[in-house]
């Protein structure tokens, strides 16, 4: 398995775990299965995952690894802030904050395959740092759109 494939496999496994933890958080927020099933995605929250899907289909894997890894640092910071606020201001438990805690720290499981993927691409002359930077910049813009959309929701 290539280094990039190992990175994406580990990433997918982590997303499955995160999804389970997100359900626990949703239930703690009063979202039951009926409300969950009737949810309509907010367009501004869909730009980021749609762009990640586009990159998965069309971009050089190592360029995407580099862009995502850089983006995860910002995402982790947001998650740490949210977990702290949920506990301190709303009394959420460790179990209900597990989704945010999961992303709050860098993943040791992703570090090695990310480094290996980028190094292999560098060694082979296949890493386009300019393109990876552009991907990362757009990921940040789409993530900002996600948070702005949530912030604009009426209370």
Q: Calculate mean pLDDT across residues 130-148.
A: 96
Q: Calculate mean pLDDT across residues 100-128.
A: 93
Least confident of 58-67, 102-111, 115-124: 102-111
Q: Calculate mean pLDDT across residues 116-121.
A: 94
Whether 135 and 65 have beta carbons less than 8 Å apart is answered as no
- Euclidean distance between CA atoms 25 and 31, whole angstroms: 9
- Count of domains for the chain: 1
CA torsion sign, 24 to 30 to 34 to 39? negative
Q: Mean pLDDT for the chain?
A: 94
Among the residues of the chain, which ranges form H helices? 3-28, 33-38, 43-58, 61-90, 98-104, 108-124, 129-151
CA–centroid distance for 100 within its chain: 11
Helix 3-28 with 108-124: angle, nearest 10 deg: 150
**pLDDT 10s digits, 5-37:** 999 999 999 999 999 999 999 999 999 999 999
Per-residue pLDDT at 154? 87
Per-residue pLDDT at 73? 86
Per-residue pLDDT at 109? 87
Q: Which domain holds residue 76?
A: 3-151
Residue-wise DSSP of 53-80: HHHHHHS-HHHHHHHHHHHHHHHHHHHH
Whether 91 and 144 have beta carbons less than 8 Å apart is answered as no
């Amino acid at each position: 398995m290539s280094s990039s494939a190992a990175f994406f496999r580990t990433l997918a496994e982590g997303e499955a775990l995160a999804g389970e933890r997100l359900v626990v958080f949703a239930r703690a927020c009063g979202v039951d299965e009926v409300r969950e099933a009737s949810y309509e995605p907010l367009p501004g929250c869909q730009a980021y995952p749609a762009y990640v899907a586009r990159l998965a289909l069309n971009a050089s894997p190592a360029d995407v690894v580099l862009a995502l890894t850089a983006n995860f640092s910002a995402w982790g910071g947001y998650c740490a802030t949210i977990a702290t606020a949920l506990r301190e201001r709303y009394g959420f438990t460790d179990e209900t904050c597990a989704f945010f805690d999961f992303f709050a720290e860098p993943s040791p499981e992703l570090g090695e395959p990310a480094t290996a993927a980028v190094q292999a691409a560098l060694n082979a002359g296949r890493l386009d740092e300019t393109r990876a930077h552009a991907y990362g910049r757009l990921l940040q813009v789409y993530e900002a759109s996600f948070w702005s959309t949530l912030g604009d929701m009426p209370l």
